[in-house]
Amino acid sequence: MNNFNNKVAVITGAGGGIGREVALQLAKEGCHLALGDISQQGLDETAKLLEPYGVKVSCHIVDVTDRKRMEALPEEVIEVHGAVNLLVNNAGITLQSSFSDLSIEHWELVIGINLWGVIYGTKAFLPYLKEQGKKGLDNAHIINMSSLAGFIGMPNQSSYCATKSAVRAISETLWAELHMDNIGVTSVHPGAIKTNILNAHLDKAGNPANAAAINRKVDKFAMDTDKAVAKMLNAVRKNKQRVVIGTDSHLVEKFKRLLPSAIHKPFAKMFAKEQLARTS
Ligand SMILES: NC(=O)c1ccc[n+]([C@@H]2O[C@H](COP(=O)([O-])OP(=O)(O)OC[C@H]3O[C@@H](n4cnc5c(N)ncnc54)[C@H](O)[C@@H]3O)[C@@H](O)[C@H]2O)c1
């Protein structure tokens, strides 16, 4: 999609972080917006920030894990905007817990938001995107938020890595399958970005003190959200199948290809050290 002016974008998780920044940057380019989030307060804050740009904005309370709610969303959006050109499957969470500490309920929560949310969103909006694709190139696009974690399995992140790898795989499949429908698909792989994601579910971390310490370290090298989103939207303009964002993500992607097994050895040492400190 080479330009966003006068298009309509649906963004899940638009009540904060990356989703809010995507809304802001798209609004600056004249894109109309349907904002979805579980948080009314988050949506209100985003909508307020968008006021100066004069684009049409609608807010929709949605829990992306709720299939029926997601199935009902397109009609609401079409009623306000008349069309959908861009779907940003962005809502996502992470729980920092070892596999042993993660309960089945925790797995269900992460899979619900990070994976089912993407599947429900794509299923619901695909017919509308196909309609736009019939008008020719650059009218329909899907952005799926994967992660650096979509390239590799890491300790304390099994549910996050599993869902983000799945999102990468789905995106690759969709890219090929939707090519003939003139629908672009971009899989986004950021490393650490300055948002609230690491702290949002800290209460569910297996070892909250260790998770908080890691978050403080990560925050020191995390990329600013505006810079990350600018890179992401640039990739969409160029109709890239995927975009890797941040030095950390580039390094992980490269080393995983070069040293597919050996790369996991330092992770094993780090995890053992953490477990030892926890029990001593
Ligand atoms: N921040 C990073 O370092 C980073 C790195 C790689 C990938 N990502 C991905 O980017 C996406 C956005 O993350 P972020 O960093 O902006 O997170 P964030 O926590 O700052 O924002 C997430 C937003 O999603 C909303 N949300 C949470 N659960 C929801 C649900 N069930 N239904 C609807 N909305 C829900 C939250 O209310 C919030 O507004 C996620 O998919 C995340 O995995 C983030």
pLDDT in tens, 3-42: 999 999 999 999 999 999 999 999 999 999 999 999 999 9
In a domain, 131, yes or no: yes
Average pLDDT in the chain? 97
Q: Provide the pLDDT for residue 203.
A: 92
In a domain, 268, yes or no: no
In a domain, 231, yes or no: yes
Residue-number span of the structural domain to which 186 is assigned: 8-249
Residues of the chain with confidence (pLDDT) below 70: none
In a domain, 278, yes or no: no
- Give 100 Cα–ligand 1 centroid separation in angstroms: 24
Instruction: Please indicate whether residue 225, judged by its CB atom, sits closer than 6 Å to ligand 1.
Output: no
In a domain, 93, yes or no: yes
Ligand 1 atom 1 nearest Cα: 193
Q: Provide the pLDDT for residue 48.
A: 98
pTM over 0.95, yes/no = yes
Instruction: Please indicate whether residue 63, judged by its CB atom, sits closer than 6 Å to ligand 1.
Output: yes
**Number of domains into which the chain is organized:** 1
The CATH number given to whatever domain includes residue 149 is 3.40.50.720
Q: Provide the pLDDT for residue 280.
A: 80
In a domain, 266, yes or no: no
- Give 192 Cα–ligand 1 centroid separation in angstroms: 12
Q: Provide the pLDDT for residue 196.
A: 94
Contact by Cβ (8 Å): 18, 90 = yes
Gyration radius of the chain's alpha carbons: 19
Query: Residues 6 or more apart from 36 whose CB is under 8 A from it?
Result: 10, 11, 12, 13, 14, 60, 61, 62, 64, 73, 91
pLDDT in tens, 224-264: 999 999 999 999 999 999 999 999 999 999 999 999 999 99
- Give 260 Cα–ligand 1 centroid separation in angstroms: 28
In a domain, 257, yes or no: no
Q: Provide the pLDDT for residue 254.
A: 98
In a domain, 263, yes or no: no
Q: Provide the pLDDT for residue 278.
A: 85
Ligand 1 atom 32 nearest Cα: 63
Rounded CA-CA distance 44/257 in Å is 43
